[in-house]
Structure 1
Amino acid sequence: MAARPKNLNDTYIAPTYPYLKPIIVCGVIMALSARREVISPGSPLYDHLLSRSPNAIKTATWIQNGLFYFLFGGHAIESAMFTKRLNDHGVRLFSVSWFKWIGTCFVGGNFVFKYFDRAVGKAA
C-alpha cells in the first residue's frame, strides 16, 4: 500500500540547507537579469569589461534578455504547475501559505520542487 501524502494544513515550511543556497542564488540571478543598470555605462561590469569591445555590450544585452525571459517565463510556468502539488498536500488556493509557497517557487524554480518533495515525505 502506498504511503499517504503528508497534509500541510495550510502551512509554509521555509527552505533549509541544502536547498536554501541555490534558491537564493537563483533569485539574485533573476534580479540581476531584470536590471538594465547592471550592464549600462557607470556600472563596474561596463567600466571594466564591456567598454573594451564594441560588440561586448550587444552580447551582454542579448545574454541578459535571454536570461530574463528564460528564468521569468520558466519559473512562471513552474509556479503554475506547483499549484497542483500544493492542492494535493492541503494548501488552499490563495491562502497566505499558498502565496509564500508560490513566491518561493517563482524565485527558486526546480529547487523548490525538490525541497517540497522532501518536506512532504516523497523523497529522502
Structure 2
Amino acid sequence: MSDSQNSAAEREQGSAFMPKFDAAGLLSAVVQHAQTKQILMVAFMDREALDKTRETGVAHFHSRSRGRLWKKGESSGHVLEVEDILVDCDQDAIVLKALPKGPTCHTGAVSCFYRSLDKNGLHPAEE
C-alpha cells in the first residue's frame, strides 16, 4: 500500500482524529438536537473553532461573514451545549449533537430549517 492509501485507510477506518479541512481551512458542521434529533443549523468550523468546541463543550464556529471565531450565542446567550460529536467517514464533516439554550436561528426560530420547498416555493415547515 502507498502512503496515501495508508493515510486514507487510517482516516476512514482508524481511531486517529484527522480532520480534513477544505482549501479555505473549513469543514461542515451540522447541528442536531441531542434529544429530538431535529436538525438545527449548519455552519463551518476551522481548526480553532473545532478545538474550542472540544475544549469548552460549547459550540464554536468560524464566521465567514465576520472572518473570525464565533461562539454560538455569544450575544444572545442561546449557546449550544455539545453532548457528542460524530465524524463522517472521510473526516471532512461533523455532526454536533447539542442541547440548545434557546432558539438556534438568528430569526428566533427553533431551527434554521423552518421552511419547506415545493414546486410553488417556500412554505412553513411542519414540525
Q: TM-score, normalised by structure 1?
A: 0.23
| Higher Rg of the two aligned structures | 1
